[in-house]
Amino acid sequence: MNKKFFFQVFILILLISWYGFFLFHKIDLTTADLGRHIKNGELILNGDFGILKNNFYSYTEPNFPVINHHWGGGVIFYFIWKVFGFIGLSLFYFILSLFIFYLFFYIAKKESNFNIAFILSLLLIPLIAQRTEIRPEIFSYLFIALFFWILWKWKRNEINYKWLFILPFLEILWVNTHIYFIFGPALVGLFFVDRIIKKRKFLNKLFLILISTSLVTLINPFFIKGVLAPFDIFKNYGYRIVENQSVWFLQKLGIINNPNLILYEISLGILILSFVLILILKRKRFSFIYSILAIVWCVLGWLAIRNFTMFGLFALPIIAYNIKNILSKKNKFKSLNAKMFFIFISLALFLITFVNYSQKLPLNKWVFGFGLTQGNDQSVQFFEDNNIKGPIFNNYDIGGYLIYHFYPQEKVFTDNRPEAYSVSFFEDIYIPAQQDNFVWQEQMEKYNFNAIFFSHRDYTPWGQNFLIERVKDSKWAVVFMDNYSIIFLKRNILNKSIIEKYEIIWR
């Protein structure tokens, strides 16, 4: 082993550490889905399967049909949480994310060279780190990486075809952990079509893998409905959430401070330019597989920013491959000039990223590290210590937090699953109740709310309007507020002693 190898290992460690720094976030359960996923896993392991097929946690629409397509992810999260706690969950997500990144970096390096892969990684890491919250989609990132790595290695004759028989077994896990499982058979199908185009013959072995990988998607609690879930989920989506919005929509909205919107467009431009140049200069090196993957993830990234991570991961090896084949050996820099160029570009990208993403990085003690953020459970502790009863009116963001802490003693008004509630619930009840006092009074009469448990960082116009109106409402008293949430109690005999002791008077 020479000095160059050890130098590259050292630089790779720095690169992975830089990516890891983006992920070094403590968990904020008050706005995350994680609490609900942990509760899912607990109930399933205890034999309570009601959560699989209906809106189990809500008292507003408890029988509304829903396919809990990520139930397996909840089981895994619950098991890790039960054994290792929230710190263990953070570490699990952190290590898995680094492993996934390394697989794509490895392919990018093999398709080009270390320097190209490193510089492209510095550019794309903020996009790859778009999703720092612990969610079941981490399993889709893992399985996509494993599928792609195995198929890529097989295509290059670096592994035996028998490795392909692992894919159907991975698909069984995938279909029960996250809704992106459809990309498993899609990847196998892509490599199958590519082999037919290049070899001009039907490959029985790969076709068998394609069929078996497709058929095993039926091995889920919902059978054919589970397989069709990715195509049906947005048919009943009555609440607009940021992660599902397009780049164009968010830029037009103008209130989302996310530098990744611009970085996505820059990366998209580089990706498109690389294909244009390879078609002009090295047409024989044009990759059918990479072109299809680029189209798919460019479109999905443009349509929903939640797909930035997968766009960034695939853009890494694709752009690396194109650049390597575009560059002519005759135009190589001299060794010293190449090193200086590498150092200059690397430092420039690092500094530009650090400056533009300083607000997104965990640079203060409150969010830096693993486990829960400090004081994350104080509001729940207050609620329980004072034996406060429901029904609770809560906002969308904090629903998973309440499910984690209060179920089965209390159910929620709503939670962060748009597909688990009817469109009319959000459009005619949830949002109007926060905008219109007449609708609020109607819901009060229907459900007789005793407490309001709200994330005051809800920046929707209706959420902010609701908080202002309730503060002015003499029928309600604020008894608790911290960095995450606010609790109102209705002025009645049940709450009288608590209000007298804890009421916060606004001046």
What residue spans of 427-460 are helical by DSSP H?
Answer: 431-435, 437-447
Predicted TM-score of the model (pTM): 0.92
> Mean pLDDT for the chain?
90
Are 353 and 125 in contact, with CB atoms under 8 Å apart? yes
In tens, the pLDDT along 334-354 reads 555 667 777 888 888 888 888
Q: Which two tokens stand for residue 236?
A: 């009943």
State the Cα–Cα distance between residues 11 and 206, nearest whole angstrom: 38
What residue spans of 112-199 are helical by DSSP H?
Answer: 114-128, 137-155, 166-175, 183-199
Closest CA to 25 of 352, 400, 357, 347: 357
Q: What is the chain's pLDDT, residue by residue, as a tens digit (507 residues)?
A: 577 788 888 889 999 999 999 998 899 999 889 999 999 999 999 988 888 888 889 999 988 998 898 999 999 999 999 999 999 999 999 999 999 999 999 999 999 999 999 999 999 999 999 988 899 999 999 999 999 999 999 999 999 989 999 999 999 999 999 999 999 999 999 999 998 888 766 677 889 999 999 999 999 999 999 899 888 887 878 787 878 788 888 888 776 778 889 999 999 999 999 999 999 998 889 999 999 999 999 999 999 999 999 999 999 999 999 999 998 654 554 555 667 777 888 888 888 888 888 877 877 777 888 988 988 999 999 999 999 998 999 999 999 999 999 998 999 999 988 888 999 999 999 999 999 999 999 999 999 999 999 998 888 889 899 999 999 989 999 999 999 999 999 999 999 999 989 888 876
In tens, the pLDDT along 74-108 reads 999 999 999 999 999 999 999 999 999 999 999 99
In tens, the pLDDT along 127-147 reads 999 988 899 999 999 999 999
- Secondary element (H or E) of residue 181: none
HEC string for 297-338: HHHHHHHCHHHHHHHHHHHHHHHHHHHHHHCCHHHCCCHHHH
- Secondary element (H or E) of residue 486: strand 486-490
Half-sphere exposure of 382 (CA within 13 A, CB side): 22
Peptide bond into 259 cis (omega under 30): no
Are 53 and 66 in contact, with CB atoms under 8 Å apart? yes
